[in-house]
Amino acid sequence: MHERDRIYVRGEWVASEGEGRFEVIDAATEEVLGHVPAGAPPDAERAVEAAAAAFPLWAATSVEDRASYLRRIGEALAERRNEIGDLVSREVGMPQKLARPIQGGMPAETFLYYARLIEELPLEEEHGTSLVVKEPVGVVAAITPWNYPLHQIAGKVAPALAAGCTVVLKPSEVAPLSAFVLADVIDGLGLPPGVFNLVSGDGPTVGEALVTHPKVDMVSFTGSTRAGRRVSALAAETIKRVTVELGGKSASVVLDDAELPKAVKASVNDCYLNGGQTCSAWTRLLVPKALEEEAARLAKEAAERFTVGDPSEPKTRLGPMVSATQRDRVRAYIRQGLEEGAELVTGGPDAPEGLGKGFFVKPTVFAKVRPEMTIAREEIFGPVLCILGYEDEEDAIRLANDSPYGLAGAVWSGDDARAERVARRIRAGQVDVNGGAFNPRAPFGGYKQSGNGREFGPWGLEEYFEIKSIQR
């Protein structure tokens, strides 16, 4: 049992002002995995005051010293990557064999990367008679999601600390335990008090208290588009800098000269990563109308190779959803797809056979999906692939862009130049061409209602700087 009864403020583990606590549930067994404090607005107040008090000294700390702290955090997380991966696997449902390198390994690499980058990045530039300097934006409220909990935390905390900002972190109450591991690591390394603070709680209480606090200079939020609208509106009252990474309904566009089996298999794999609980997942598969039946057949074969079960079992390729709420939400979307006339190729809304306990959903594929259908327009956040047919290349591009979202996507063609040409016309922040590998140093973020700002790579660091011009 992972019992956490304190929050981390001003370099100490202290009691929360909140009276309750949140249960953390094992997604595969539905058993209680642990507890964390249900923080209250006074906790947010204490944490922000601590961060504000610590900011002047941390902002003046040398780049070399900040990099040294980040490097030590990354090294300590790397030593615990399997422990972290296994913990997140139980919280979120990602199969353990994937959770160890992704959920456990990538956060460590992010801290190590920003330790290197901050030492290389010029912070002053001469422009004529002006000296242009980059300065830390100030106190950052980092509000993070449950699907890639420590990975998303690292994508905010590491560059913020590197830039010289101080941080108050509010992790998702659904999967908060890896955030406490990070706080343990930071506490053990002796980061100056108040530079990093952790307050567990939900959005309407702790989250909104942070977003509206006058001493918070920037909010970095990852979550649903609905919540992102609320965060943006509240932060606007005090003209805070806001970066938001929100939902997606990404299209994998298979052109008529592509290798169809390869493209379909890769698209199913991407759609089902982390049980489909990935904001950038390719959940719409766009194929020429003449190839719809063949694509459906290939998608069915690929989907039915996903063994559903306990994420700790080596053979498992698809674990449970994070919660009963999420499971029920995904199943409701599947039922709505059936009601609206989509063709069920495989899967469905019923529980997978033999898995009555746990938040499991069948790997599902729909064909003959029309663009106006709910399942083609709304983010399902589960293992549900929608196949849509198109007339020609122009129609494919139109359908790919026919979405309120613009987070990610893919293009497949036998001609790399053609694929890249189409990729440039897709209004999304990240587009893979012919299975291009994920690059954790590339900028990540979206167009339209998928958000504002970028994370990761040098672009993720630049978000945490103010720019000052000194005229001489």
pLDDT tens for 156-207 read 999 999 999 999 999 999 999 999 999 999 999 999 999 999 999 999 999 9
Compute the average pLDDT of residues 449-471.
97
**Does residue 400 fall inside a structural domain?**
yes
Q: Is residue 95 part of a domain?
A: yes
- The predicted model gives 12-31 an average pLDDT of 97
pLDDT digits (tens, 9 = 90+) for 98-127: 999 999 999 999 999 999 999 999 999 999
Same domain, 198 and 282: no
Same structural domain for residues 262 and 367?
Answer: yes
Examine residue 444 and state whether it is found in any structural domain, yes or no.
no
Residue 411 confidence class, pLDDT cut points 50, 70, 90: very high
Mean pLDDT score across all residues of the chain: 97
Query: Do 21 and 201 touch, CB atoms closer than 8 A?
Result: no
Q: Do both 358 and 224 map to the same domain?
A: no
Check 49, 208, 245, 379 and give the catalytic one: 245
* Residues 43 and 60 both lie in one domain: yes
**Same structural domain, 75 and 130:** yes
CATH code: domain of residue 255: 3.40.309.10
Token pair belonging to 418: 């053609």
pLDDT for position 246: 97
Tell me whether residue 318 is in a domain: yes
Residue with tokens 């909104």: 208
| Whether the predicted model's global pTM rises above the 0.85 cut | yes
Q: How far apart are CA 107 and CA 397, in angstroms?
A: 34
CA–CA distance, 430 with 410 (Å, rounded to integer)? 8
Contact in structure between 241 and 262 (CB atoms under 8 Å)? no
pLDDT of 1 > 90? The answer is: no
What is the structure's pLDDT at 187? 97
**Could you tell me if 385 and 392 are in contact, meaning their C-beta atoms sit under 8 angstroms apart?**
no
Above pLDDT 90, what percent of the chain? 99
Token digits of residue 108:
């460590």
User: Which residue among the candidates 279, 379, 386, 455 is catalytic per the annotation?
Assistant: 279
Same domain, 324 and 261: yes
Q: What secondary structure, in 3-state letters, does the chain show?
A: CEECCEEEECCEEEECCCCCEEEEECCCCCCEEEEEECCCHHHHHHHHHHHHHHHHHHHHCCHHHHHHHHHHHHHHHHHCHHHHHHHHHHHHCCCHHHHHHHHHHHHHHHHHHHHHHHHHCCCEEEECCEEEEEEECCEEEEECCCCCHHHHHHHHHHHHHHHCCEEEEECCCCCCHHHHHHHHHHHHHCCCCCCEEECCCCHHHHHHHHHHCCCCCEEEEECCHHHHHHHHHHHHCCCCEEEEECCCCEEEEECCCCCHHHHHHHHHHHHHHHHHCCCCCEEEEEEEHHHHHHHHHHHHHHHCCCCECCCCCCCCCECCCCCHHHHHHHHHHHHHHHHCCCEEEECCCCCCCCCCCCCCCCCEEEECCCCCCHHHHCCCCCCEEEEEEECCHHHHHHHHHCCCEECEEEEECCCHHHHHHHHHHCCCCEEEECCCCCCCCCCECCEECCEECCECHHHHHHCCEEEEEEEC
| 264 within some domain | yes
- Is-catalytic flag, 293? no
* 125-142 residue pLDDT tens: 999 999 999 999 999 999
Is residue 445 domain-resident? Answer: no
Residue 280's nearest CA partner among 58, 136, 87, 440 is: 440
pLDDT at position 324 over 90 = yes
pLDDT tens-digit series, residues 32-64? 999 999 999 999 999 999 999 999 999 999 999
Same structural domain, 258 and 217? no
The token duo for 43 is 């906790």
Q: Return the residue matching tokens 């930071």.
A: 186
- Say if 423 falls within a structural domain: yes
Q: Residue 297 corresponds to which amino acid?
A: R
Tell me which amino acid residue 447 is: Y
Task: Say if residue 126 is in the same domain as residue 242.
Answer: yes
Quick one: 151 and 72 in the same domain?
yes
Provide the pLDDT for residue 356: 85
Q: Which two tokens stand for residue 333?
A: 């979307």
Indicate whether 88 and 220 sit together in one domain: yes
Structure tokens at 299: 């998608």
Residues 232 and 262 in one domain: no
Domains in the chain: how many in total? Answer: 2
Per the annotation, the verdict on 386 as an active-site residue is no
Which domain covers residue 410, as residue numbers? 250-439
Q: How far is CA 191 from CA 58, 216, 218, 397, in A?
A: 10, 20, 21, 49
Same domain for 303 and 276: yes
Strands 343-346 and 364-367: antiparallel
What is the CATH number for 14?
A: 3.40.605.10
Q: Is the pLDDT reported for residue 393 higher than 90?
A: yes
CA angle 205, 208, 210 (to 5 degrees): 105
Helices 63-79 and 81-92, interaxial angle, to 10°? 70
224-266 tens-digit pLDDT: 999 999 999 999 999 999 999 999 999 999 999 999 999 999 9
Residue 130 lies in a domain: yes
The answer on pLDDT for 74 being more than 90 is: yes
